Amino acid sequence: MYYVTGATYLKRPIFRGASRLEYLTDTFLDACEKHQWQLQAWAVFPNHYHFVASSPSESTTLTPLSKEFHSRSAFKPIAGTILPAAKFGSSSGKPR
């Protein structure tokens, strides 16, 4: 059993709003299913997430699961923009 937590860069609430949280949730659940992790509990928030899960027989899949989830959630086309990079892409980490 694993407890995992992660956060957005500088804990910026870039997934604020129902559609963004829904996208983040769907992306997370898809990655867990693909890598065969059995979720016991999970929560997603605008700036971080947590989950408790059992690994498949190969627990080495946590790294690929995390990489897939993070890369798929890093950019999302919404209304002609790319998020979060479009709003939080400056080198200072502050909104443009």
Domains of the chain: 2-88 (3.30.70.1290)
Q: Classify burial at 85, counting beta carbons within 10 Å of its beta carbon; exposed 0-12, middle 13-18, buried 19 or more.
A: middle
Is residue 86 pLDDT above 70, yes or no?
A: no
pTM: 0.73
53's tokens:
């899960």
pLDDT tens digits, 2-12: 999 999 888 98
Please state, as a whole number, how many other Cβ atoms lie within 10 Å of the Cβ of residue 27.
19
SS (H, E, C) 1-50: CEEEEEECHHHCCCCCCHHHHHHHHHHHHHHHHHCCCEEEEEEECCCEEE
State the pLDDT at residue 20: 87
93 pLDDT tier (thresholds 50, 70, 90): very low
Query: What residues have CB less than 8 Å from 29, skipping those under 6 apart?
Result: 39
pLDDT tens digits, 23-80: 899 999 999 999 999 999 999 999 999 999 999 987 788 999 999 998 888 766 444 4
CB contact at 8 A, 57 and 23: no
Beta bridge partners, 84, equal: 75
State the pLDDT at residue 88: 39
